[in-house]
Structure 1
Amino acid sequence: MNIIAEKYVKLALNIGNYDKDFIDAYYGPQDWRPKSKSGEFNDSIYQILNQQVDSLLDEMESLSVYNAAELEKLRYRYLYKQLLACKTRIFMLNGVTLSFEEEAKALYDTEVPVHNEDFFKQTIEELNKILPGKGSVTDRLLSFKDKFRIPEEKLKAVFDAAIKECRNRTLKNMQLPPTENFSVEYVRNKPWGAYNWYKGNFFSVIQVNTDLPIYIDRAIDLAAHEGYPGHHFYNALLEWNLYRKKEWVEFSVYLLFSPQSLIAEGTANYGIEVAFPGSERIKFEKEVLFPLAGLNPDEADAYYKVLDLQKNLSYAGNEAARNFLNGKWNEQQTVDWLIKYSLRSRESAAKYLDFIKQYRSYVINYNVGMDIVKNYIEKNGGTDENPSKRWELFKNLLSTPQTPGGLK
């Protein structure tokens, strides 16, 4: 298995030579990287890479009946699914166009539920009843949320406080790798809201995009999702437990378009609930973050009532990606849908479409990924009433080889 794992890493790095987004992180041996930058992807390159991945899949299948311990079985399943994602990405680089549903299954090991317009209309009608003012629900929502925008000059203080609290809560329940740390940068002109660039040696660079308004709830969302107990912590635990201690070299590379991303995004989003169960989040924000941002904490309850309803609308982004990538909608129809059913501003809808065009079906990893992680943890006893069990199960997901299909 170790020999296959080494070949897998080198194959992934070669694919990344032709796909700039494929390798999200790599901290393995530097001499494994391709010696030179790639030229244009062509049929000859396709044949070489496809033959390599098929050979590795054949080797994996020859091992499928071997008697292994549970952790080794998880490792086998993880590596096999990652190789299938490699094969899929090679096909896509060669011009094969998959449907949204086929792509999500092949790359992220999951089926994507369909949500029709009635699902979103029901939520929007509930919002219509509680939002103040006149006009469209989208305009009223944006006007309402504007009162909870963090002033740009106060972003750093608010984020620093949120990060500190997320880290302290994580430390109470999980051991952090030695010397772990990260830096935060504020950037512009990106298709995403925030990004964790994991550098290895337990260090990350977290970038926060300030193109669009950043509302007060995003402080905890981003601090937990990108930091603790989210992406930074997830990558650090995998490096610590699997790459450093077990010398499983496949965990020296993180492939963005792979089942690992659904686990990463799902745990990062669910980690917010794990760190702040029940009413603990709103209590902390009222007492600490609202005052730091110069906002009125007396309005926090009304704000979170609106946000709780708005969560259902995240699935509208999946439907936008489904119809756009399947060729049913053009760009204007997709933006109009996002404005109507995600209740986004036109600027925000256009930014989301940019994300779809660059990352395609990746959008499902945030909400479908969270649903899979949440259901797995809660059906195994990690409920609000048993927070210690929830942390135990969550830690296991972050520090062992997992696949979405294995959590169902």
Structure 2
Amino acid sequence: MGCESRKAQEPESDSAASEVLSPEETAAQEDSEDPALDQLARDYVRLVLTLGNHDKSYVDAYYGPADLKAEAEADKASPAELASRAEMLLARLPQTIEPAGDLQTLRTHYLKTQLKAVAAHAHHIADASFRDFQREAKALYDTEPPVQEYAEFDPVLAQLEEELPGSEPLHIRVQQFQEQYRIPEGKLESVFNAAIAECKKRTLAHIELPDNESFKLEYVQDKPWSGYNWYQGNAHSLIQINSELPIYIDRAVDLGCHEGYPGHHTYNALLEQKLVKDQGWLEYSVYPLFSPQSLIAEGSANYGIELAFPDGEKTRFEQEALYPLAGLDPATAEKYQRVLSLLAELKFAENIVAREYIDGKIDRDEAVARFQKYTAMSPEKAAQRVRFVDTYGAYVINYNWGKALVKQYVEQDADLSNARWQKFSRLLSSPRLPSSLNW
């Protein structure tokens, strides 16, 4: 907590906006025309939009040609037929793709990997009778998350017991402790505005965004998530914050970074500018939620929080700026952060509960109970989390396992803050997916 920020120790680059593409990727821009791949990309977009007819959660964003959307809406193909179409498109791509860091290879790999996920999701819609967490994660998100046991988290739960001693169940003590840090409803707007402004300032010091980028912030209720970014295209987002459950002071920066800067809003704006507009790659005008792209999106959004606020900078900013706005006592912020750090170590336990629930080993009530026991969630939050798993399945891995993969990619051979921001910027502007992170 007491160490100085890396930003204070390191010289900043001459330019506020770090170079987005590597030399290899920049060189590839000069020879990026591929009519056959462009046509396949168009067919991919239409396919994703058509599959969205059968799953209203599937198409998370689209800002491409209106005619493709109209064609897709009129298409009556069944999920099984759409799975076959995906497989036919896959047959037009190379059977094997040799690892390489140039944009063209990454693009081909992106289309092939995304199409595999389209086929898998279409097959699942056609026959939803069988579900397997691990297979779903691999098929949809291009990765195999670690299989863990509850016992691995016992030491963390023991530390939480020491921080918050008492006779009541641990999740009740955690909930009572967090209530001290609840943002009053009347102060939500001012706290979130201040948090988002700081997230944006720190991001713009390293990443150049389109001049016209903007977002609209709304507060909603009765959702299975705590926050959501609905990208609208033309560098504009609608960011929704779920105010149904209590919102604690730490969530302001977390959601400001995750949904905005340098998270989803930044990621989508960069993909649109660098790949759709600059490269003319239509496939990036659509975002299928249940796809490998989501692991990069969620993982980078979560890692972006600690990238923007390294070491103890998040706690210091909250103490100095957000606690006063919320009318909270900043003197207790460091203990709150200790508790939050322990709760963060329990995030992977969520995957165990989701795996058991999806695989049919436990029912809904037991899933709620285990979220409370092993992740210290309140009963209300645990119920919301089960609703999330009902809606999004193995998507839960994208937050914790996705962050771990992005963190490993960004920090490998990048010890200084500026170097990490540069790698992070390149990741957000490239066709990289989980299986191409090390190319």
| TM-score greater than 0.5 by the shorter chain | yes
After TM superposition, the structure 1 stretch with the greater mean CA deviation from structure 2, 101-110 or 341-350, is: 341-350
2:60 is aligned, of 15, 18, 24, to: 24
Report the equivalent of 1:187.
220
Is 1:77 matched with 2:104? no
Matches within 5 A, 1:303-382: 303-381=336-414
Q: Counterparts of 1:260 and 1:17 in 2: how far apart (Å)?
A: 20
Report the equivalent of 2:291.
258
Aligned CA distance change for structure 1 residues 53 and 352 (closer, same or farther; 3 Å): same
> Percent identity at matched positions?
46
2:192 is aligned, of 139, 159, 181, to: 159
Aligned CA distance change for structure 1 residues 69 and 115 (closer, same or farther; 3 Å): closer
CA offsets 1:331-352 (integer angstroms, 9 cap, x no match) = 1111111110111111111110
**What amino acid maps onto 2:434 in structure 1?**
P
Give the TM-score of the pair, scaled to structure 1. Answer: 0.95
Give the secondary structure class of the aligned counterpart of 2:287: strand
Q: Could you tell me which runs of 5 or more consecutive residues in structure 1 were left unpaired when the two chains were aligned.
A: none
Q: Counterparts of 1:370 and 1:64 in 2: how far apart (Å)?
A: 26
Give the secondary structure class of the aligned counterpart of 2:202: helix
Report the equivalent of 2:121.
89
Aligned CA distance change for structure 1 residues 70 and 347 (closer, same or farther; 3 Å): same
Q: How many residues align?
A: 401
Aligned CA distance change for structure 1 residues 38 and 213 (closer, same or farther; 3 Å): farther
Give the secondary structure class of the aligned counterpart of 2:91: helix
Matches within 5 A, 1:46-195: 46-61=79-94, 64=97, 70-96=102-128, 97-195=130-228
**What amino acid maps onto 1:304 in structure 2?**
Q
- Displacement, 1:19? 1.1
After TM superposition, the structure 1 stretch with the greater mean CA deviation from structure 2, 46-55 or 160-169, is: 46-55
Equivalent residues of 1:174, 1:395 under 8 A apart: yes
Equivalent residues of 2:137, 2:143 under 8 A apart: yes
Matches within 5 A, 1:222-301: 222-301=255-334
Report the equivalent of 1:8.
44
Q: Could you tell me which runs of 5 or more consecutive residues in structure 2 were left unpaired when the two chains were aligned.
A: 1-36
Give the secondary structure class of the aligned counterpart of 2:224: coil
Aligned CA distance change for structure 1 residues 140 and 38 (closer, same or farther; 3 Å): farther
Equivalent residues of 1:17, 1:34 under 8 A apart: no
**What amino acid maps onto 2:50 in structure 1?**
N
**What amino acid maps onto 1:10 in structure 2?**
R
- Displacement, 1:48? 2.7
Q: Counterparts of 1:63 and 1:120 in 2: how far apart (Å)?
A: 40
- Displacement, 1:317? 1.3
- Displacement, 1:38? 6.7
CA offsets 1:282-338 (integer angstroms, 9 cap, x no match) = 111110001000011100000001111111111121111100110101111111111
Give the secondary structure class of the aligned counterpart of 2:310: coil
Of structures 1 and 2, the one scoring higher in RCO (CA 8 A, sep 6+) is 2
Equivalent residues of 2:267, 2:429 under 8 A apart: yes
**What amino acid maps onto 2:174 in structure 1?**
L
Q: Counterparts of 1:6 and 1:380 in 2: how far apart (Å)?
A: 37
- Displacement, 1:135? 1.9
Q: Counterparts of 2:150 and 2:101 in 1: how far apart (Å)?
A: 46
Q: Counterparts of 1:344 and 1:174 in 2: how far apart (Å)?
A: 35
Report the equivalent of 1:217.
250
Q: Counterparts of 1:380 and 1:265 in 2: how far apart (Å)?
A: 23
CA offsets 1:16-72 (integer angstroms, 9 cap, x no match) = 111111100000001101447579x8xx6244312311111010126958x997111
**What amino acid maps onto 2:347 in structure 1?**
S
- Displacement, 1:128? 0.4
Is 1:196 matched with 2:229? yes
Q: Counterparts of 2:361 and 2:222 in 1: how far apart (Å)?
A: 28
Q: Counterparts of 1:406 and 1:167 in 2: how far apart (Å)?
A: 28
- Displacement, 1:380? 2.8
**What amino acid maps onto 1:262 in structure 2?**
L
**What amino acid maps onto 2:125 in structure 1?**
L
Equivalent residues of 2:295, 2:399 under 8 A apart: yes
Equivalent residues of 1:132, 1:144 under 8 A apart: no
After TM superposition, the structure 1 stretch with the greater mean CA deviation from structure 2, 10-19 or 69-78, is: 69-78
